[in-house]
Amino acid sequence: MKTLRLVLGDQLTRSISSLADLEPARDVVLMVEVAAEATYVRHHKQKIALIFSAMRHFAEGLRGEGITVDYVALEDQGNTGSFEGELRRALLRHEPDRVIVTEPGEWRVWQMMLEWRETMPVPVEIRADDRFVASRDEFAAWAKGRKTYRMEFFYREMRRKTGLLMKGDVPVGGQWNFDAENRKSLPAGYHPPQRLRFEPDAVTREVLALVERHFPDHFGDLAPFGWPVTRADALKALDHFIAVALEGFGDFQDAMKRGEDFLHHALLSPALNIGLLTPMELCRAAERAYLEGRAPLNAVEGFIRQVIGWREFVRGLYWNEMPGYAETNALSARRALPDFYWTGETDLACLKECITATRRNAYAHHIQRLMVTGNFALLAGVAPREIEQWYLLVYADAFEWVELPNVHGMVMFADGGLLASKPYAASGAYIDRMSDYCAGCRYDPAVKSGPGACPFNPLYWNFLIENEDKLGNNPRMAMPYRNLRRFSAERRAEITREAAAFLDEVAPRQG
């Protein structure tokens, strides 16, 4: 049976299910660069370049194996600009008996594919994406009957399933989780390791020029572009991370430093999310480093937990809870996203640092995402949809299955606690403790209110006041609410006034 196999831009894995039983002499692989997907949000220029360049390299690899690839480039004549339009044109060109595709990473595209099964002139088979440790069904079975989901319990299941850092049924080191050791701030004068970036080759340079022509007004800087776009380079990036940065990954996981964009983080999520690497490959490499004495347990366990814990967990939650998940707004947050999220032009030094790094790299590390840009949006009460759109377009690794639960659940608490037991809300003291940002700021994290006070301080207390009816009885918020309840009525009124004056200027209320 002649088969047309559609491979999407985040499915660049040779063992992807849609290519599993490919017959090179008979089948055709279809890959399409479509304007609709590149522009439905104004993705960071580097993200578009990463995906198009990696697609072109992947297609070349398949051709090298003698496979017929029908590759529709963005500027090709007749390109309709949509998946559906390009699939229909390809059906006319190749007259296959059927179409096979692997399920996508976004609910919207999945609905589109389900419709194809009714509307296309040949049968369309949608296969499960088996590049994850847990299947969607497996997560659904684990989640059944639970009112809230907690990553830690799911993670233990994944450790047992994979055998990673396990001695029989017992976790190596006698503990599942070494997070308590992973909150060190950086010592003065500390220099993190130099990181591997990749010089664009001819294919990437062509794509960079195309992105500049077609998407000049999209977010972010196109150069310097240093992401790996082939599996070979992604493997080099993995080896380099294990050799130079994994050792400090645990200790400094929550640290932030001016002018240091990467610290000890892996920088592997863009390659991983488009399929150039697999999650188990990352975890086995880290585990090997521990077993060979090249990295300590707190670093290796912490890293493995991010990959088979958080990454798998948010993916399972996304598919289990969509489409309703995206609609909730448990804290009734309604403010506009401040303009400085686009420009980086703000006198809050921490936000300026994280947003300008995001513009430069299409990347920010986890704690910058969670405790700076995320924390501010939470405290300011930015409407979930506005901040979600921002997160979906600014990073090279952003795909809805992973972005949405992290933003909607972890950052904004918009799901009312389905993902996290409490909001990650923090005042300026946290940012001061974990970074050197405050030293270069016109505000002072030690000043609680009035001129010169760090804006995170009144915003933090205002957040607690505004959400007292929803969060006041949360046992994990008992301590801050105990402190708040000691405040006089005048102090509370002053906080509310100060926060409103600040927010009405930078993030006006909508609706």
Ligand X SMILES: Cc1cc2nc3c(=O)[nH]c(=O)nc-3n(C[C@H](O)[C@H](O)[C@H](O)COP(=O)(O)OP(=O)(O)OC[C@H]3O[C@@H](n4cnc5c(N)ncnc54)[C@H](O)[C@@H]3O)c2cc1C
Binding site for ligand X (CB under 6 A): 265-269, 272-273, 303, 306-307, 310-311, 314, 365-366, 369-370, 374, 391, 395, 397-398, 402-403, 406-407, 410-411
- Sheet containing strand 68-72, edge to edge, reads 68-72, 28-32, 3-6, 98-102, 124-127
- Exposed/middle/buried for 327, CB within 10 Å: 0-12, 13-18, 19+? exposed
Return the number of the residue (151 or 441) whose C-beta is nearest ligand SF4.
441
Is 349 near ligand SF4 (CB under 6 A)?
Answer: yes
- 279-291 and 231-244 are packed helices; what angle lies between their axes, rounded to 10 degrees? 30
Is 271 near ligand SF4 (CB under 6 A)?
Answer: no
Is 432 near ligand SF4 (CB under 6 A)?
Answer: yes
How far is the CA of 384 from the CAs of 320, 336, 389, 472, in angstroms?
19, 10, 9, 21
Which tokens in the block code for residue 210?
């195309």
Choices 258-266, 271-279, 321-329, 449-457; region in contact with ligand SF4 by CB under 6 A: 449-457
The minimum distance between CB 130 and ligand X, in angstroms, equals 17
Is 461 near ligand SF4 (CB under 6 A)?
Answer: no
Longest dimension (CA), the chain: 79
Which tokens in the block code for residue 100?
């096979």
Asked if residues 162 and 283 have their Cβ atoms less than 8 Å apart, the reply is yes
The span from the CA of 118 to the CA of 108, in Å, is 16
The minimum distance between CB 355 and ligand SF4, in angstroms, equals 12
The minimum distance between CB 376 and ligand SF4, in angstroms, equals 9
Which tokens in the block code for residue 491?
């102090």
The span from the CA of 243 to the CA of 235, in Å, is 12
Choices 66-74, 248-256, 346-354, 478-486; region in contact with ligand SF4 by CB under 6 A: 346-354
| Exposure of 309 in the CB half-sphere (CA atoms within 13 A) | 19
Element (H or E) spanning 503, and its range?
Answer: helix 489-506
Degrees to nearest 5, angle at CA 501 with 497 and 504 = 130
Q: Which residue among 208, 274, 337, 350 contacts ligand SF4 (CB under 6 A)?
A: 350
Choices 256-264, 347-355, 385-393, 486-494; region in contact with ligand SF4 by CB under 6 A: 347-355
Return the number of the residue (50 or 272) whose C-beta is nearest ligand X.
272
Q: Which does 454 bind (CB under 5 to 8 A by kind): ligand X, ligand SF4, none?
A: ligand SF4
Is 381 near ligand SF4 (CB under 6 A)?
Answer: no
| One-letter identity of residue 504 | D
Return the number of the residue (363 or 430) whose C-beta is nearest ligand SF4.
430
Q: Which does 207 bind (CB under 5 to 8 A by kind): ligand X, ligand SF4, none?
A: none
How far is the CA of 501 from the CAs of 419, 495, 498, in angstroms?
32, 10, 5
Q: Which residue among 74, 371, 438, 464 contacts ligand SF4 (CB under 6 A)?
A: 438
> Which stretches of 201-325 are DSSP H helices?
202-214, 231-244, 246-249, 269-274, 279-291, 297-304, 312-321
Return the number of the residue (298 or 375) whose C-beta is nearest ligand SF4.
375
Q: Which does 398 bind (CB under 5 to 8 A by kind): ligand SF4, ligand X, none?
A: ligand X
Is 341 near ligand SF4 (CB under 6 A)?
Answer: no
DSSP state of 119: H
Residues, the chain: 511
Which tokens in the block code for residue 380?
């300011």
Q: Which does 211 bind (CB under 5 to 8 A by kind): ligand SF4, ligand X, none?
A: none
Return the number of the residue (71 or 399) whose C-beta is nearest ligand X.
399
CB count in 10 Å sphere of residue 371: 23
Is 445 near ligand SF4 (CB under 6 A)?
Answer: yes
The minimum distance between CB 449 and ligand SF4, in angstroms, equals 13
Q: Which does 438 bind (CB under 5 to 8 A by kind): ligand X, ligand SF4, none?
A: ligand SF4
How far is the CA of 116 from the CAs of 4, 111, 120, in angstroms?
14, 9, 5
Is 441 near ligand SF4 (CB under 6 A)?
Answer: yes
Is 228 near ligand SF4 (CB under 6 A)?
Answer: no
Return the number of the residue (302 or 455) whose C-beta is nearest ligand SF4.
455
The minimum distance between CB 430 and ligand SF4, in angstroms, equals 8
Using CB under 6 A, list all residues that contact ligand SF4. 348-350, 428, 431-432, 437-438, 441, 443, 445, 454-456
